[in-house]
Amino acid sequence: MSHPLLQSLRHDVTGGLVSSAVAIPLAIGFGMFAFVTLGEEYFAHGAIAGLVSAFVAGVACVAFGDRTTTVYAPRITTTFFLGLLLYSLVHSETPALNNASVASILAVFFATILMGGAFQALFGLVRLGTLIKYAPHPVMAGFQNMAAVLLFLVQLSNVLGYERTISFTQVFQHIGEAKPLNVMVALVTFAAMWNAKKFAGRVPPLLVGLGCGLALYYGLVLAGFGAQLGHAIGTSPMNVVVARPISQFADLANLKTLWNSASTILSGALALALIASIDALLCAKLAGEPRSDSDRLLVRLGLANVGSACLGGITSGINIGASITNRGFGGRTPVSVLVNALALLATFTLLFSYVAHLPRAVLSAVIMVIAVQHIDPWTKQLAARLFQSDTPQRGVVALDFGIALLVSILSIALNIVMAVFIGVALAVFLFVFRMSRSNIRRLYRCDSVRSRKSRGVGEMLVLEVKGNSILVIELQGALFFGSGERLAQIIESETAVSTGVVILDLRRMTEIDATGAQILADINATLGRRKIKLALVRSERSETAARLADIGGASIYRFQDVDRAIEWAEDDLLTLASPAQPAGEITLERVSALRDFSPDQITRFSRYLTRVRWNAGQVIFQEGDPGSDLFFVTRGRASVYLHSESGNIRLVTFAPGTVFGELAILDQGPRSASVIADEEVTAFGLSLSAFEALRRDEPDIAIKLLSALGRELSDRLRRANRTIHQLET
């Protein structure tokens, strides 16, 4: 058996090499896309820029502490940004860039990438990673969708096999120059990659598509059809200026251009950093790396992109497909990432003359599949929901879809940098707009919804009539100035109707700031002046509980769950409704199940009962115990619990005048739950043997008792149905 270290190394090498085979074509294709504005003579330079960036990102991120198996490469959203940025620089009318040389334009281009990396690292250093995660999805989806569409369209010229690069806006004007065999090669490549999982097993679909496309392309070349096919990537003519950013930054001829373009560089860099950061944090989640720290990831990637810009590379991010492939083929440590990076280094230093023979049609078909796969699935689902007749909250759906579409259009119609900042402004507007809306999840009154405390008939009648004076409001989201003021207005409106208690369920609140806490204190003071009690429901150890610890003092009642809060409110209501109710043990006549029994029947029935008593905290019976007795409670309270891994779940509490354990008489099965005395409990028990004697000696009472127990169960079921209906609606 091989040594564990050697075995681990073998797995890492395999994962790194296979994942590099996936990363290399993508890096080449995205690099070419970033440089497409400069024409096809810069295709090779773009390909090298993509490879350099992937190599630098992998080595730098491992050097700066990444201990995962994440593989890095150019990303579709950042490459889309860079492609449009370079286009805007080439066609700029500003004095600093108008008629500037390619070398000067590239100096500004790489300076933007460098500063973008610096901003990205700064975001991580000041711990903005967590905040950036909450960028509204419609904004990022808009960029991603337009990037995918544009990336797809740019490939049309290569797919159709034109002799020269033609803009996708004019591609169909030259359709007569298209080469059908080249289109066939692209279609076969596309179909093979798209359907690879159906017939190729674990082989990465990208490699399947490349393999099929290369075999068909060069098979046709060998068959003598080379003239009817499009070109390969090719090498660059020697007279074309090669990007050397470090020397270009120091070149006196470019310093003036860089200085005069400072505002363009800084604004573009900030926009690039925002897009790269959002994309990186999203990809970290999708790539399935549980050990990823948002802020450290941004620092590593930012520094890597700074180094990439200095060496002629573009912006990189997390390559999801290659990362998954790396792990799928054995990569377990950062060694696999370094192996991947070394393969990229070898590709652009030693093997690029071979890579240059990669057919453009094959590479473009692969990129087209990637583009289609990058159409945001959320946007597609949103569009489908928008045209369904039964879609709830159609206005919200339309707003989200409209924002995604607007950002996509602005990315092309306006300067890409301006589009980014408009997207950020839309994000802020959406946040403020949605946070200012009501954060009430549900609102109901307790004439239909009851606590789990089982009560006698008289008390239930009181609660049915006056239970609507208990108002329960479930909250969600964040509570700050805007949403807090809205909550205060709703409470004021709702309590205009006779209300004695307001219960606020805060367990789903994600955050309460100081202003929100003060608004709750003001709500409590306002309700107090109107003799309305306020109760708060919150988890004991939550941040919400800590924030609200000092507000309101003893005038605010606090509970850990809504059921206990409603029970407290019901008790308070019943005390006010029947203040003269005598304390102590009640008689059997006041037990709800025996309310139709005559005094004579009560007397005869009591002969079969046994008086029992339990102390507070004593277990009356356990879940699973044999069922043998039912009990009529005449004093104290006992609660029913189900055992679970997270603790005991209270189902119901029995008060004086109620009955429990009746299933022992009806089906004689084991106890379905445990019952524990909340306080000293007194009850009268009817054993199974006593019931058999009652049925034999007093059949009229036995029949009446069974009828009463059936009525009790029916009442409980009806109340449960009303509660479910109320909560669901």
- Give residue 53's pLDDT: 94
- Give residue 464's pLDDT: 82
pTM to 2 decimals? 0.64
According to DSSP, the residues that pair with 641 across neighbouring strands are 650, 674
Judged against a pLDDT cut of 80, whether residue 650 lies above it is answered with: no
- Give residue 506's pLDDT: 87
Percent helix, strand and coil across the chain, each to the nearest 5:
60, 15, 25
Rounded average pLDDT over 372-379: 84
- Report which of 337, 305, 323, 333 is spatially closest to residue 58, judged by C-alpha positions: 337
- Give residue 547's pLDDT: 62
The answer to whether the CB of 14 falls within 8 A of the CB of 341 is no
What are the pLDDT digits (tens) for 409-430? 887 777 677 777 787 777 777 6
Query: Range with the lowest mean pLDDT among 334-343, 364-373, 608-617, 651-660?
Result: 651-660
Q: Which amino acid is at 198?
A: K
The proportion of the chain whose per-residue pLDDT surpasses 90, expressed as a percent, equals 26
The answer to whether the CB of 485 falls within 8 A of the CB of 436 is no
- Report which of 467, 657, 456 is spatially closest to residue 572, judged by C-alpha positions: 467
- Give residue 195's pLDDT: 93
What are the pLDDT digits (tens) for 156-213? 988 998 888 787 778 888 888 899 999 999 999 999 999 998 887 788 899 999 999 9
Q: Which two tokens stand for residue 708?
A: 């009463």
Distance CA 22, CA 202 (A): 13
- Report which of 661, 702, 663 is spatially closest to residue 685, judged by C-alpha positions: 661
Distance CA 270, CA 420 (A): 9
Rounded average pLDDT over 233-253: 54
User: How does DSSP classify residue 658?
Assistant: -
329's CB contacts (< 8 A; 6+ apart) are 11, 14, 15, 18, 19, 202
The answer to whether the CB of 80 falls within 8 A of the CB of 375 is no
Distance CA 183, CA 157 (A): 10
- Report which of 350, 344, 283, 330 is spatially closest to residue 21, judged by C-alpha positions: 344
User: How does DSSP classify residue 609?
Assistant: -
According to DSSP, the residues that pair with 675 across neighbouring strands are 621, 640
250-288 in b/e burial notation, b at 16+ Cβ within 10 A?
eeeebeebbeebeebbebbbbbbbbbbbbbbbbbbeebe
CA dihedral 644, 649, 651, 652 (to 10 degrees): 140
User: Pairing state of beta strands 610-614 and 638-644?
Assistant: unpaired
